Amino acid sequence: MDTPLSPRTYTLSDFDFVLPPALIAQHPAPERSGARLLDATGPALQDRIFHTLPSLLKAGDLLVFNDTKVLKARLFGEKPSGGKVELLVERVLTGNQVVAHMRVSKKPEPGTTIHLVGKDGETGFRATLLGRWPDQDGTLFRFVLSNDAGDDPYTLMERHGHVPLPPYITHTDSAEDAQRYQTVFAQNPGAVAAPTAALHFDDALLAQLDAQGVQRASVTLHVGAGTFQPVKTENLADHQMHSEWYNVPPTTQQAIADCKARGGRVVAVGTTTVRTLESWAQSGQASGDTQIFITPGFAFQHVDVLVTNFHLPKSSLMMLVSAFAGYGKIMDLYRHAIAQQYRFFSYGDAMLLQKNSPEHVAI
């Protein structure tokens, strides 16, 4: 009689790897679809270019994109005392209120009005601190943004804010970033980080996929700054995921049902799309906040294939892709990518993964 395999217990250290700093992409590829694509859907890894993706899909497959739009959410200013302040807006609430991370030498008291500087260095607007969020012990802060013209937060950020580039990109934001750190189909403003796998799609590639009979649908997940935070607890069960708002519209729900009925594959573009679809499957709620934490052993209900970029060591996204494609395969894939000098992270190259059977994981 065969002896069943013992369940595997994963810890944080399992998801670490050494990445040469030179492989961290500081700028996007000259053309969106000109990035490299590591195809891991076959028996052997294949090095491709992203514009060859249509050859790996078939009529009847359904591509699901995250249509969130990145806000110019990084704001600079000073307190009445003259002390410098940096805000990173995480969420827009009602009544001109926003929730933000605050970087400052000494936290101001509630009621303090911060003068935020415009891009011209002079004309700006105001941020009045209301308190911590979501409660008095929260790590984020709630502000009211205002100017004399009565503009809303979206207008103020678009006019005066900076593109919130990830912490591993070392240059200040530029006109290139304003264009390229945004998908060509971005529609619903609210993210402080781009759904980076979708950055590789351009209008010509989308037209080719349409002509081939590959279907398209969209979800929304407003990516938060927590996406860049490494997991810090060696025991994964102790990790507390950040919260992000998502929505799966009825048209996308129907498109997925139709895809499954005709035998097509649901191809998620990016881990944010995976988190959205699997949050909906897990909770039964098509819209709301999610703190879903996907680790090996997770049973995916909607997603069959995943297009994604390469992720940070010890990040929750390393755990997600390991759950999806298999831990051993992902570690082999990353070793190959480093050896072949793929470009990593937000402006880097992509990979194509196929769902593996869920692992037997010890709890």
Mean model confidence pLDDT for the chain = 94
Same domain, 183 and 294: yes
Same domain, 219 and 346: yes
Decide: 38 and 341 in contact? Cβ < 8 Å.
no
User: Which pLDDT does position 291 carry in this prediction?
Assistant: 95
User: Which pLDDT does position 118 carry in this prediction?
Assistant: 80
Same domain, 192 and 102: no
Q: Which residue stretches of the chain have pLDDT < 50?
A: 1-5
The CATH number given to whatever domain includes residue 191 is 3.40.1780.10
Same domain, 186 and 325: yes
Is 36 within the bounds of a domain? yes
- Domain end among 106, 135, 160: 160
Is 211 within the bounds of a domain? yes
How many domains does one find in the chain? 2
Same domain, 255 and 287: yes
Is 87 within the bounds of a domain? yes
Same domain, 333 and 292: yes
How do residues 10-26 score in pLDDT, each as one tens digit? 999 999 999 999 999 99
User: Which pLDDT does position 2 carry in this prediction?
Assistant: 39
Same domain, 314 and 238: yes
Same domain, 187 and 335: yes
Residues 6+ apart with CB under 8 A from 82: none
Is 297 within the bounds of a domain? yes
Residue span of the structural domain in which 322 resides:
12-70+177-354
Same domain, 233 and 154: no
- Residue 63 tokens, joined: 């591509």
User: Which pLDDT does position 98 carry in this prediction?
Assistant: 97
Is 254 within the bounds of a domain? yes
Same domain, 57 and 134: no
Is 167 within the bounds of a domain? no
The CATH number given to whatever domain includes residue 79 is 2.40.10
Same domain, 213 and 308: yes
For 339, half-sphere exposure in the C-beta direction (CA atoms, 13 angstrom radius) is: 8
User: Which pLDDT does position 109 carry in this prediction?
Assistant: 96
